[in-house]
A and B are shown apart, each in its own frame.
Chain A
Amino acid sequence: MAMEELAAIKKLDFNMCMQCGKCTGSCPVSPKSKLNPRRFMLETAYLISPLTMHPPLNIQEKGELWDCTTCSTCSYRCPREVKPMDVLIGLRSLLVEAGNVPSTLGDALEGVYKYGNPWGLSRSKRQEWTQDLKVKYASEEEKIDLLYFVGCAASYDSRAQVVARAIVKNLNALSIDFSILGNKETCCGNEIISLGEKGLFEEIAGNNLALFDRYGVQKIVTTSPHCFHAFKSRYGRELAVKHYTQYFADLIDEEKIRFSGKIGKVVTYQDPCFLGKHNDIYDEPRKIIESIPGLRFEELGRSGKRSVCCEGGGGRMWYDIPGERLAEDRVREALDVGAEIIVVACPFCLLTFDDAIKTSGNEERIQVKDIMELVAETL
């Protein structure tokens, strides 16, 4: 093993691991993948211990590292506060630095580097979703008090664009002054760091911070929990950032939102990993949902802290593994509680559920909608 790899491994934190196996036991993808966090904790530890294991771990052969969705259940469940997810991401870095990356993930990384989005789509098309909407674009003339950070999925994916449009409509309906970065917006980098591409992440984070400074951004609200998490915890600077669920829950508390419509449906809610498990945000989305008139809210069998990942994170939007997607199982769970709408608060959940509803043949029975769509329908 190269010295650099060893040095990188030494920086990872797994000393407290007692091999209890809670991580693997709770990992949602381990049943269908070779991914075994507990084993990685053990085998990685051996690499820097005086004892050796036969055969020693050869990270470059461990393609299953790409299967992790970075849902963080393993870290969350660990009784000794070890963070297996961070170790897995650290090991991914070793694959990235060796150029040992599945081609679709390489394309996603290149796409972010060259075009500022993982789909490698043209920058000039980033703000096309705004079409006829009333939005203010960042300009040198005016400092931005509130920045709405749209994110890549909501900028480019036609289904997720509906959410961005709903957010803009909602903010406008409430006469809230905000701006967007338009074509200057660039990927937040959350998936990039999750894929272990540290250098690219640093570059993006630096550029984004410079952009925020240039426009005097005071507060940020995001569509995606992934962007929210990156800004909140991964940029190494304190930013006044809120996920839109927090922002709108506050507005409800302040009694600034008055609903005029009604949704006469049974709905359930999928906790996005990057709101729930990563950031303990469970109440705010529920507050918004439950304040919408007419609907009946049913919790999923496994919800809140026990919620199960949709399988859209950690780069898995660009990399698939064989077997049924977790979201399909969640669709059945939603049907079990009698839901007609699965409500989500993350563009990746939206897209994975949209797909899972189709592949499981349940289009007639259930829909997926973002909280902001429901709000837009009832404001």
Chain B
Amino acid sequence: MEIIVCVKHVPETAEAEIAIDSSGKGIKTEDLVFDINEWDDYAVEEAVLIKEKLGGRVTIVTVGSEDADKTLRKCLAKGADRAIRLTDKAFDGSDAYATAKILYGVIKDLPFDLILTGTQAGDDGYAQVGVILAGFLGIPHATMVKKIELMEGFTRVNRELEGGLEQVMEVGTPALLAVQTGINEPRYVSIMGIRKARQKELKVLGLNDLGLKEEEVGESGSWITVEEMFIPPVEKEAEILVGGLDAISSKIVETLRARGLI
């Protein structure tokens, strides 16, 4: 099995304070911690699980700056075999469409039976790259995948639908599957493991290596241009209860009683 997994190195923002940068089109990232995109972590785990069962090779591909090597090394430590980082000044400002083109630039020449991606990235949340990439490659895809069964010539997947329902589909292989969180339980990787993974191959390629033209990528090669980034206006703000745990609890109980909920 030749499996390719596309991953992204993203800032973690769940608990962080977010501020807009001076360009007004991005956020300040100096104080943020970056890690593998949550959805991609599941994709890598799934690839490694398949490899552990069927044998083969897992190749990780990312578009990103040198900092993204951290995420690549983590993937290698999890059990991937080699990694490729695509980087170039010209890639700056790429949206999902341009990013998919960059990935296509390298993947078109690689052997694969299966490509896995996350359904979306936690930063920009486009949920497009995988499907567009599949379109370029001319292979079928499925998104929101919660279960993968590999058969001869096809794969049977469960796609997550709204309301807790799933849709079972059969997709011809080679295929691109964009996985949903919860499909497996990503393993812990030790720092020693990450250090050892330094011995594994990590290749860095740029615009010219991919045979792409500058105008095909970056902002000029994108469908979407960010005009402005802003902290959303507060529509409704909760009344924050204060005064210590006892006072807060009393206030809640009072409110519930007034509404006949107790």
Check whether chain A touches chain B (CB < 8 angstroms). yes
Measured between beta carbons, the chain B residues less than 8 angstroms from A15 are none
A96 to B12, CA, bound (A): 24
B45 to chain A, nearest CB (A): 10
Of the stretches A83-91, A102-110, A209-217, A281-289, the one at the interface is A102-110
B82 within 8 A of A: no
A124 touches B17 (CB 8 A): yes
A106 touches B33 (CB 8 A): no
Of the stretches A68-76, A197-205, A302-310, the one at the interface is A197-205
Measured between beta carbons, the chain B residues less than 8 angstroms from A114 are 12, 33, 35
Of the stretches B162-170, B191-199, B228-236, B251-259, the one at the interface is B191-199
A200 touches B191 (CB 8 A): yes
A172 within 8 A of B: no
A198 to B189, CA, bound (A): 12
Measured between beta carbons, the chain B residues less than 8 angstroms from A110 are 188
Measured between beta carbons, the chain B residues less than 8 angstroms from A199 are 190-195
Contact among B31, B188, B191 with A124 in the assembled complex (CB-CB below 8 Å): B31
A100 to B78, CA, bound (A): 11
Per-position 1/0 for A111-143, Cβ under 8 A of B: 001110000111110000000000000000000
A99 within 8 A of B: yes
Measured between beta carbons, the chain A residues less than 8 angstroms from B189 are 99
Query: Within residues 69 to 125 of chain B, which ones have a CB less than 8 A from any CB in chain A?
Result: 78
A101 within 8 A of B: yes
Interface size class of A (residues with CB under 8 A): 20 to 34
B15 within 8 A of A: yes
Interface size class of B (residues with CB under 8 A): 10 to 19
B185 within 8 A of A: yes
B229 to chain A, nearest CB (A): 21
**CB within 8 Å: A-B pair count:** 48
B31 touches A123 (CB 8 A): yes
A145 within 8 A of B: no
Query: Within residues 133 to 192 of chain B, which ones have a CB less than 8 A from any CB in chain A?
Result: 185, 187-192
Q: Determine the residue in chain A with the shortest Cβ distance to B189.
A: A99
A197 touches B78 (CB 8 A): no
Q: Determine the residue in chain B with the shortest Cβ distance to A108.
A: B188
Q: Determine the residue in chain A with the shortest Cβ distance to B16.
A: A122
B237 to chain A, nearest CB (A): 21
Q: Determine the residue in chain B with the shortest Cβ distance to A201.
A: B191
A109 to B189, CA, bound (A): 10
Instruction: From B17, B35, B188, B193, name the one whose CB has the most chain A CB atoms within 10 angstroms.
Output: B188
A99 touches B193 (CB 8 A): yes
A109 to B16, CA, bound (A): 19
B188 touches A101 (CB 8 A): yes
Given A114-B12, A124-B17 in contact, is the A200-B190 Cβ separation under 8 Å?
yes
Could you list 16 examples of A-B contacts with CB < 8 Å?
A: A99-B78, A99-B193, A106-B188, A110-B188, A113-B191, A114-B33, A115-B33, A121-B15, A122-B15, A122-B17, A123-B31, A124-B16, A124-B31, A198-B190, A198-B192, A199-B191
Binding site for A on B (CB under 8 A): 12, 15-17, 31, 33, 35, 78, 185, 187-195
Besides the known contacts A198-B190, A203-B191, 18 further A-B residue pairs in the complex with CB atoms under 8 A apart: A97-B192, A99-B187, A99-B193, A109-B188, A113-B191, A114-B33, A114-B35, A115-B33, A120-B15, A122-B16, A122-B17, A123-B31, A124-B16, A124-B17, A197-B191, A199-B193, A199-B194, A202-B191
Q: Which 5 A-B pairs have the closest CB atoms?
A: A199-B191, A199-B192, A99-B187, A106-B188, A101-B188
